[in-house]
Amino acid sequence: MLTNSFIHVPGIGARRERDLWASGIKCWDDCLCGNVLDGASPSLTNRLRATIRASTQALQQSDGVYFATRMPPHDSWRLYPEFKNRTVFLDIETTGLSPHFDDITVISLFDGKRPRALIKGRDLKEFPRIIGKYSLIVTYNGATFDLPFLHRKFKRFNRNYAHIDLRYPLARLGLTGGLKGVERKAGIRREGMLSAVDGFMAVRLWREHQQGNPTALNTLLRYALEDVVNLPSLMVLAYNRHIKAFPLRVPRLKQTVPPRIKIPFDAKLIKRLAEYSSWW
């Protein structure tokens, strides 16, 4: 879909992009080899072709930042197929909501092959080195939560990456709310009491771990990793539903099956913390 896109060109909005497709300019090659939109000014025509030449070069160099800085957030889903092999799905757990005063406790990562959790006090400091292998980061609500935390805590975490925050393309499809609610609307179910765990409880689980509860950390890790292994399913859902509305023949992506996380969790602990939360 990315090579069918013109919406990242200055002066090209959604309506004009559809006009280009309707006129036979359906992909970048059509733009460079043929005529452009009837009635377009010479300056727009030149800008369009110059941007597409630069886009072709950026794609060849796997430069996701080029597109991420030009693409509207709700259209960022278009990057995924071309950058899929250099994508990591990311989510963090913290001690609170403030990047200035609270700490990151767990960073969960999934590259489509192996889920991994980095833990405060163990290997969390490895994050800048690990994340440098990827060109595209996919989160849910990461633009306002995860990434500000990560940039605050890791000075060596540079901004040389593209980012898809699934909150925006999913919201355009009517799938709004927190991640767990969106998962339920998309037909994704979590095992047993895991469905009761949320970000607030994750804070309590970390405190339980610090206080010596032997099952709290595994329960937190299970919850955190479930977050990231479910994100590819939401990414594919967003992509396929968006292309369905476009007047183009764009191949659908095959839906993924999340890997099974084998870390045990403590259902009784979750139930106790859920009951505690209901008191407040």
Q: Are residues 47 and 164 in the same domain?
A: no
Domain holding 24: CATH number? 1.10.150
Cα distances (Å, whole numbers) of residue 107 to 40, 98, 228? 48, 16, 10
- The CA distance from 226 to 229, in Å, is 5
pLDDT attached to residue 279: 44
What's the longest Cα–Cα distance across the chain? 70
68 domain-assigned: no
| pLDDT less than 50: residues of the chain | 278-280
71 domain-assigned: no
Q: How far apart are the first and last CA of the chain?
A: 47
Q: Residue with structure tokens 């950058």?
A: 83
Q: Are residues 191 and 55 in the same domain?
A: no
113 domain-assigned: yes
Q: Are residues 6 and 122 in the same domain?
A: no
- The CA distance from 245 to 241, in Å, is 7
User: Tell me: the pLDDT tens digits for 193-216?
Assistant: 999 999 999 999 999 999 999 999
69 domain-assigned: no
Q: Are residues 23 and 89 in the same domain?
A: no
Q: Are residues 24 and 135 in the same domain?
A: no
Number of domains in the chain: 2
pLDDT attached to residue 30: 87
Q: Are residues 19 and 122 in the same domain?
A: no
Q: In this structure, what are the phi and psi dihedrals at residue 258, rounded to the nearest 5 degrees?
A: -60, 140
Burial (CB count <10 Å: 0-12, 13-18, 19+), residue 149: buried
Determine the structural domain holding residue 228 and report its residue range. 79-278
